[in-house]
Structure 1
Amino acid sequence: MALYVHKYGGTSVGSTERIKHVAERVIKARQKGDDIVVVVSAMSGETNRLLALAHEVQERPNPREVDVLLSTGEQVTIALLAMALEAKGCPARSYTGAQVKIITDEAHTKARVERIDNEAIRADLAAGRVVIVAGFQGVTEAGDLTTLGRGGSDTTAVALAAALKADECLIFTDVDGVYTTDPRVEPRARRLERITFEEMLEMASLGSKVLQIRSVEFAGKYNVPLRVLSSFQEGEGTLITYEESEMEKAVISGIAFNRDEAKLTLEGVPDKPGIAHKILGPIAAANIEVDMIVQNVAGDATTDFTFTVHRNEFAKAMEILQKLCGELGAKAVTGDDKIVKVSVVGVGMRSHAGIASTMFETLAKEGINIRMISTSEIKISVVMDEKYLELAVRSLHEAFGLDKEPAA
């Protein structure tokens, strides 16, 4: 007998009809003789509705009370799903994060899971019940309710799968798997049968929004096989697992992109030790996250220091640099918030040369100018003007043959 953890997101449980549909899917899975633990999110739109209520009452809502409020969203879903299963003759029991004792740290609204008491869940499974657990939430040692941040239900599901040593964690969502790129940009994008944890982490951090990054990190750390499937149609989905020898055949697994980029440059800064810290220290102090960094040293003992930030932080970062310009004796500050980042990702890069050459040649043929380049062992990212995004993704997708099934 196998043990599976199912996770259903907000759209999958967005109405009572959809909750009944989830109940049918769970019963069908259980008929194979497997034990099933289900993690659910709040119904779609509910978390935003609750947050809006909080802001109507308090301009800057108390984080502890925000967690108390938001945790009610999932409580509704777990109870309704338990009722739907019972109505179909399937024994079920629901638990909040606090009832299971999903113990977290005390960082309200973005807590991290520390440990899980799975005794009650195992007892229910042994008694033949389906166990339903509220995603996105936990409790501190002191008994305060916490939430895990946006997309935290994925993390709950993976953490439970790790604690229960589940055979697989199935993430049901509104897409039927992980694709070579966003099908809305490239219609020939192909669903991947499998992808490594490393590749999925890169894809998630580079703009792919299929899974929450923390859940992939957790799954990789505890070796929990993850599968992404559609809750609206049948299919095998995409398995996320450790690298296997046959996976080396695919040089590039996917193309990720991020539209939320902005670039800033401090020109003509004196090239002295510690200058990077003097620039990025105030940026970090303002809680602005820096992504890519490029430093170009000129012949006149000055340097142009360029970095990218989230587009929402562009104005704040520009204000800081303008103050620093005079202090550091720089010549000027320039910026551009109409840029995007496009990345090719694949573990096959480790054993194949020429990936960068193919990427740059493809972009050059399309007349696309590269503004910045960043690499890691399994990815190459480039920054370009926003207007070229779709052309770049489609041309790279074709250049690396991602629309074709890999050779057997």
Structure 2
Amino acid sequence: MPVLVMKFGGTSVATLDRIKRAAKRVGVEVAKGYDVIVIVSAMSGKTNELVGWVNETSKFYDAREYDAVVSSGENVTAGLMALTLQEMDIPARSWQGWQVPLKTNSAHSQARIEEIPTDNLNAKFGEGMRVAVVAGFQGVSPEGRITTLGRGGSDTTAVAFAAAFEAERCDIYTDVDGVYTTDPRITDKARKLDKIAFEEMLELASLGAKVLQTRSVELAMRFGVKLRVLSSFEEQSDEAGTIVCAEEDIMENRPVSGIAYSRDEAKMTLISVADRPGIAAAIFGPLAEGGINVDMIVQNISEEGRTDMTFSCPVDQVARAEKALNAAKDKGDINFHDLVADTNVAKVSAVGIGMRSQSGVAAQMFKTLSDEGINIKVIATSEIKISVLIDRKYMELAVQALHDAFELEKA
């Protein structure tokens, strides 16, 4: 039988009633003739509770035991979902990551999937099982220890199973009914998209949109997995949600498809750095070793052999960045006059694959912000994205103004 993957996030399985609602959706697909692989997250709030217990127990914890604890939330949900389906007379059983097995590397709490053998599940499907309920977010290391895939890892689990089993589709059920042109909480003009290209979704996910985890979109694009994002709380139909697909499956590409934002950004500037070969490596090497996620980078024009280097990073990584750079300065690897951190900025981005073939997007974006009196601190571009750093207090105004300027409310 054809295989369908259905993933239910934490809010979709937050209570027993919601698990029953999700199980009914699975039953509909089983009745259509699918063998279904259901990927479940922990019940809403449970992972945070488990992480809190670990931190309270051990400040410098063993990452292997951390994974053993925090992965348990998904095990509970998988068992409850399987029991619920069995009560509906649907042949189902739960699977933990090690039982499949979902094989990963040994990078605990941030493991990467290496292989998903299909033999075990296919054998059970052949024996009459109709639904395999798999605990998301978890796998097993070469050493036989439980691993976890990082926050949002259940999305990645779902896409990986869809690729491994050559599923007809991978449905991601969340608390929103699709992918929007921007956050509906910021502007009521935000419009749900029927389709969005993998590349656009990847940019939006990496720039702050919380609908899908970045790694899951990367996997879907790499293996050509057809993704659908839809709500577990809305009426189900074949046209529901947003399809994430290849660019060629979209009839016409607008210059801009969506406006993304990231509220918790910081701008850091190294003042008066020696302008010499290798200076960028000397700066960003220690930042990489310190686990700092650097995004936008700007180097000023050199004067008398000195320059300024500016970059952005998440605001909660500023202290680590300062520590790494000052340590490099103390070792003599780099020399700078001052290190200035601005923790009151936000990143706003326009994303669209249509930018490749249409000019004027940057000019329109910058004019729109200028007309609203919003000063741009840093600019970064790619083939399908333009991002700016602005004062955080203007973030919502910028999103609303750009959404209007590019007429994203129109289909």
The two structures have a TM-score, normalised by structure 2, of 0.94
Q: For residues 329-340 of structure 1, what are the structure 2 equivalents within 5 Å?
A: 330-340=336-346
Task: Return the alpha-carbon distance in structure 1 between the equivalents of residues 129 and 143 of structure 2.
Answer: 32
- CA 60–332 in structure 1, closer or farther in 2 if over 3 Å, else same: closer
Opposite residue 407 of structure 2, the aligned amino acid is G
Contact 1:155 1:218 in 2 (8 A): yes
Alpha-carbon distance in structure 2 between the residues aligned to 1:185 and 1:73: 32
Q: 2:30–2:130: 8 Å Cα contact kept in structure 1?
A: no
**TM superposition shift of 1:329:** 5.3
Report the equivalent of 1:367. 373
TM superposition shift of 1:273? 2.0
AA aligned opposite 1:141: P
Per-residue deviation, 1:185: 0.9
Quote how far apart the aligned CAs of 1:324 are.
6.4
Match of 1:13 in 2: 13
Q: Which residue of 2 aligns with 1:243?
A: 247
**Deviation sequence 1:238-287 (CA, Å, 0-9, x none):** 11111026444322110111112111112222322222223323333332
Shift in Å at residue 106 of structure 1?
A: 1.0
The separation in 1 between residues aligned to 2:212 and 2:85, in whole angstroms, is: 27
Separation (CA, whole Å) in 1 of partners of 2:51 and 2:322: 30
Residue 53 of structure 1: aligned partner: 53
- Give the secondary structure class of the aligned counterpart of 1:290: coil
Partners of 2:172 and 2:249 in 1: how far apart? Answer: 25
CA shift, 1:319, in A, is 4.8
Question: Displacement of 1:402 after TM fit?
Answer: 0.3
Work out the CA distance in 2 between the residues paired with 1:287 and 1:152: 19
- Note the residue ranges of structure 1 that are not aligned, 5 or more in a row: none
Match of 2:347 in 1: 341
Relative to structure 1, the CA distance from residue 163 to residue 300 in structure 2 (aligned partners, 3 Å threshold; closer, same or farther) is same
CA contact (8 A) 2:203 2:385 kept: yes
User: For residue 103 of structure 2, what is the aligned residue in structure 1?
Assistant: 103
Q: Matches of 1:6 and 1:245 in 2, distance apart?
A: 22
In structure 1, the partner of 2:184 is 183
Between stretches 240-249 and 213-222, larger displacement belongs to 240-249
Residues matched between the structures, number: 405
More off after superposition, 317-326 vs 86-95: 317-326
Alignment partner, residue 84 of structure 2: 84
Per-residue CA deviations over 1:19-59 (Å, capped at 9, x if unaligned) read: 11111111122222222111101111111222222223222
Question: Which structure 2 residues correspond to residues 52-201 of structure 1 after superposition, within 5 A?
Answer: 52-126=52-126, 127-201=128-202
**Secondary structure in 1 aligned to 2:247?**
coil
CA distance in 1, matches of 2:203, 2:324: 30
- Give the direction of change, closer, same or farther, for the CA distance of 1:322–1:109 in structure 2 (3 Å limit): closer
Whole-Å separation in 2 of the counterparts to 1:245 and 1:86? 38
Deviations 1:153-195 (A, max 9, x none): 1111111111100010000011111110111111110011111
Supply the distance in 2 between the matched residues of 1:337 and 1:122 (Cα, whole angstroms): 52
Q: Is the 8 A contact 2:67 2:147 kept in 1?
A: yes
1:329–1:69 CA distance, 2 compared to 1 (3 A): closer
Q: Specify whether residues 73 and 325 from structure 1 end up closer, same or farther in structure 2 by C-alpha distance, changes over 3 A only.
A: closer
- Deviating more after overlay: 263-272 vs 31-40: 263-272
String of CA shifts for 1:322-341, please: whole Å, max 9, x gaps.
Answer: 66679655443322110011
1:286-325: CA deviation from partner (whole Å, max 9, x where unpaired): 3222111101114433211111111012233235556667
One-letter amino acid matched to 1:108? H
- CA gap 1:88/1:366 in 2 versus in 1, 3 angstroms: same
In structure 2, runs of 5+ residues without a counterpart are: none
- Counterparts of 1:263-274 in structure 2 under 5 Å? 263-274=267-278
Q: Could you tell which deviates more after superposition, 340-349 or 236-245?
A: 236-245
What one-letter code is carried by the residue in structure 1 that aligns with 2:95?
Y
Compared with structure 1, are the counterparts of its residues 90 and 307 closer, same or farther at alpha carbon in structure 2 (3 Å cutoff)?
Answer: same
Cα distance between partner residues in 2 of 1:192 and 1:346? 13
The answer as to whether partners of 1:259 and 1:340 remain within 8 angstroms in 2 is yes
Amino acid at match of 1:154: D
Distance in structure 2 (CA, Å) of the matches to 1:99 and 1:253 = 41
2:192 aligns to what SS in structure 1?
A: coil
8 Å CA contact retained: 2:67, 2:109: yes
Aligned mates of 1:204, 1:27 — CA distance in 2: 30
- Secondary structure, in 3 states, of the residue corresponding to 1:111? coil
Indicate if the aligned counterparts of 2:268 and 2:340 stay in contact, CA closer than 8 A: yes
* SS across alignment from 2:266: strand
State how far apart, in whole Å, the 2-side matches of 1:71 and 1:329 are.
Answer: 44
Change (3 A) 1:131 1:320: closer
Q: Give the aligned partner of residue 213 of structure 2.
A: 212
Post-superposition offset of 1:148: 1.1
Pair 303,158 (structure 1): closer, same or farther in 2 beyond 3 Å: same
| Change in CA separation of 1:57 and 1:316 when aligned onto 2, cut-off 3 Å | closer
Read off the aligned partner of 2:365 and give its amino acid letter.
Answer: M
Query: Could you say if the C-alpha distance between residues 321 and 147 of structure 1 is closer, same or farther in structure 2, counting changes exceeding 3 Å?
Result: closer
Segment drifting more, 80-89 vs 165-174 = 80-89
Partner of 2:22: 22
Contact 1:325 1:332 (C-alpha < 8 Å) held by counterparts: no
> Take 2:16 and 2:243, find their aligned partners in 1: how far apart are those partners?
29
**Is structure 2 residue 293 aligned with structure 1 residue 289?**
yes
Q: Quote the RMSD (CA, aligned, Å).
A: 1.8
